[in-house]
């Protein structure tokens, strides 16, 4: 089993790295340079036709893409500590909050990144496309609304899906980390969410330095 990844601030690969650190597990890494467009090379596209990191390749050659699906598989191999829940009800609620974090945080942050950020402007133009700037900017309100949803929930519990840290926290944290890097942060008035964010950022799994590559347009080009 090996993981195709790059130590990069892109939020999806980062979810898997946080997950592995929380599990205390190391998996052989195949460094896949985004800057050198290795994730768009024909041999990589056979592993993931979408040309995206991360990919987990099993010993039988099966390739699993999608950060959450990779972690779900790894949970079956390394069940402790459980990050997808310990029974059906808990698992369903964690799954619900994973989806809400995807749709209410990561999606608007992604739209702000793709449609408003100067780093992505050149990528879109190189593909013959354009940024939809006003649409991108409108996603700041969508993100604020998602943050408020979580803020209300975190008034009565410590973590996104309950009293324990789970995959829902990882998805939300990696999304908000990336948002912060691109100027789409948590509204100040969301005190509960900001307190949660400080808690999860203090965990040993969250110590990566994310500030580097957003200074390099070539890497920004590759992430988008």
Burial of 138: CB neighbours in 10 Å, binned 0-12, 13-18, 19+: middle
Show the site string, 118-137: x = touches a copy of itself by CB under 8 A, - = not. -----------x--x-xx--
In whole angstroms, the minimum distance from the beta carbon of 91 to a copy of itself comes to: 7
Q: Which stretch binds a copy of itself (CB under 8 A): 23-31, 56-64, 170-178, 214-222?
A: 56-64
In this structure, the number of other CB atoms found within 10 A of the CB of residue 164 comes to: 16
Question: ∠ CA 33-36-38 to the nearest 5 degrees?
Answer: 60
State yes or no: residue 1 binds a copy of itself (CB under 8 A).
no
Q: Check residue 218 and report its DSSP letter.
A: H
Tokens 């449609």 label which residue? 115
Helix (H) or strand (E) holding 150: helix 133-153
State yes or no: residue 72 binds a copy of itself (CB under 8 A).
yes
**Which whole-number Å values give the CA distances from 219 to 33, 94, 184, 222, in the listed order?**
9, 32, 19, 5
- Candidates 2, 36, 41, 58: give the one binding a copy of itself (CB under 8 A): 58
Would you say 17 or 213 has its CB closer to a copy of itself?
Answer: 17
- Candidates 36, 40, 99, 157: give the one binding a copy of itself (CB under 8 A): 99
State yes or no: residue 86 binds a copy of itself (CB under 8 A).
no
- Closest by CA to 3, choosing from 50, 73, 86, 82, is 73
Interface with a copy of itself in residues 13-52 (CB under 8 A) = 49-50
- Candidates 32, 91, 175, 205: give the one binding a copy of itself (CB under 8 A): 91
Helix (H) or strand (E) holding 220: helix 217-223
Secondary structure (DSSP) of 173-202: HHHHHHHHHTT----TT-HHHHHHHHHHHT
Would you say 134 or 209 has its CB closer to a copy of itself?
Answer: 134
> What residues line the site for a copy of itself (CB under 8 A)?
49-50, 58, 62, 64-66, 68-70, 72-73, 76-77, 88-89, 91-93, 95-96, 99-100, 107, 115, 129, 132, 134-135, 138, 149, 152-153
């Amino acid at each position: 089993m090996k993981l195709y990844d790059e130590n990069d601030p892109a939020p999806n690969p980062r979810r898997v790295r946080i997950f592995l650190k929380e599990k205390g597990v190391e998996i052989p890494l195949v460094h896949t340079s985004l800057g050198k467009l290795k994730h768009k090379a024909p041999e990589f596209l056979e592993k993931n036709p979408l040309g995206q990191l991360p990919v987990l390749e099993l010993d039988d050659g099966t390739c699993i893409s999608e950060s959450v699906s990779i972690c779900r598989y790894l949970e079956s191999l390394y069940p402790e500590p459980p990050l997808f829940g310990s029974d059906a009800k808990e698992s369903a609620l964690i799954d619900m909050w994973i989806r809400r974090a995807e749709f209410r945080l990561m999606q608007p942050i992604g739209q702000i990144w793709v449609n408003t950020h100067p780093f992505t402007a050149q990528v879109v133009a190189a593909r013959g496309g354009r940024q939809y700037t006003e649409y991108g900017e409108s996603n700041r309100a969508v993100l604020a609304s998602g943050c408020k949803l979580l803020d209300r929930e975190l008034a009565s519990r410590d973590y996104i899906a309950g009293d324990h840290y789970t995959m829902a926290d990882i998805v939300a944290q990696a999304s908000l980390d990336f948002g912060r890097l691109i100027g789409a942060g948590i509204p100040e008035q969301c005190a509960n969410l900001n307190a949660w964010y400080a808690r999860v950022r203090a965990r040993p799994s969250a110590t990566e330095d994310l500030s580097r590559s957003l200074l390099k347009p070539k890497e920004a080009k590759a992430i988008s």
